[in-house]
Amino acid sequence: MVTAVTPHSGTVNRQYKSSIFAMLFSERKELLKLYNAVNGTSYTDPELLTVNTLENAIYMAVKNDVSFLIGTRLYLYEHQSTWNPNLPLRNLFYVSDLYSAITEERNLYSSKKIQIPAPHFLVFYNGEGKRPDQVVMKLSELYESAEETPELELIVHVLNINQGHNEELMKACQPLRDYAAYTAKVRENIKAGYPVREAVEQAVTGCIREGILEEFLRRNRSEAMKVSIYEYDAERHLRMEREEAYKDGQTDGYRDGQAEGYRDGQADGYQEGHRKGYQQGQKDLQKKFISVMLKKGKTITQIAADLDEDEQRIQELAEQFQIK
């Protein structure tokens, strides 16, 4: 038997929602439409869903937009406007807390098996970076050493919901299609040079006029604007932090690379100089020896024998050094 975490009604819980996606799909009617579109099902009763998002959880940005139970399966849905390779690890932390909540009143040391819902992890990506329709991310890809058969695995499916991607899914789910259209309008307005607040307000007004999320935005206009402004500011802050970290890394890398290159160059130069100096010393020694031996009346043949060298080689050296 699966025990649910406190279920929510179909209304928006304004106290905790930190994204338009979370606001929109915390309404079970809209969430069921999204579930049907993703899974190719045709359920009509929103009461089949038990929303169990951990609303009061704060984990240093480890959060989830909406999680819910349907039957004996647990689904975790999240939207991302910035690409994050650590999604499997974040979901591991989150689902662990969910399982703790689900089994809170169960005895984990009992001899009786405790059954838990099978988890499924799905992320809807609407960032500006170019990504394929679908990406599969695995926890094992984050392991420092590659494991042939990982003993702990978690798989996240990332779906691109930007214009021109996953068109069948978008056609099948109007709330998702409208959500993507709304976020695109906000971005277009900001790119056109409008201040964030004005860009959001124009997007909300325009969407209501065009019938995009009309009912939702009319009902939640004030809160939707606040959340959208917060979302964009958070996204911009994260982007600026990443750009700053990249620049710092570039500077540090250049400086470290310069120092390391100098040290390597110094070492290489020493080795090369040592090698060339040794070779020159050998040549000078040979030159001196050949010169002395010739002056003493020795022949090229005798000198070659003394040096254990080829006679022709000694002759060439004598000519090269102009030794007579």
Whole-Å CA distances, 181 to 106, 150, 159, 192, 313: 44, 40, 16, 16, 83
- Phi and psi at 15, nearest 5°, equal -65, -35
- Which residues lie below 8 Å from residue 290, measured CB to CB, with a gap of 6+? 303, 314, 317, 318, 321, 323
Least Cα distance to 165 among 176, 151, 153 occurs for 176
pLDDT the model gives residue 91? 96
Q: How are beta strands 134-138 and 118-125 bridged, if at all? A: unpaired
Angle subtended by helix axes 28-39 and 174-191, to nearest 10: 100
pLDDT, tens digit, 9 for 90 and up, residues 203-239: 999 999 999 999 999 999 999 999 999 888 766 655 5
Structure confidence at residue 302 as a pLDDT band (50, 70, 90): confident
What gap in Å lies between CA 118 and CA 116, rounded to an integer? 7
Which of 49-58, 60-69, 82-91, 301-310 has maximum average pLDDT?
82-91
Instruction: Give the angle subtended at the CA of 167 by the CAs of 162 and 171, to the nearest 5°.
Output: 110
Per domain, the residue ranges of the chain are: 20-141+150-191, 278-324
Residue 239: what pLDDT? 57
pTM: 0.68
At 252 the pLDDT is 60
- Do the Cβ atoms of 236 and 218 come closer than 8 Å? no
Query: What is the per-residue pLDDT across 60-100, written as a single tens digit (0 to 9) for each?
Result: 445 678 999 999 999 999 999 889 999 999 999 999 999 99
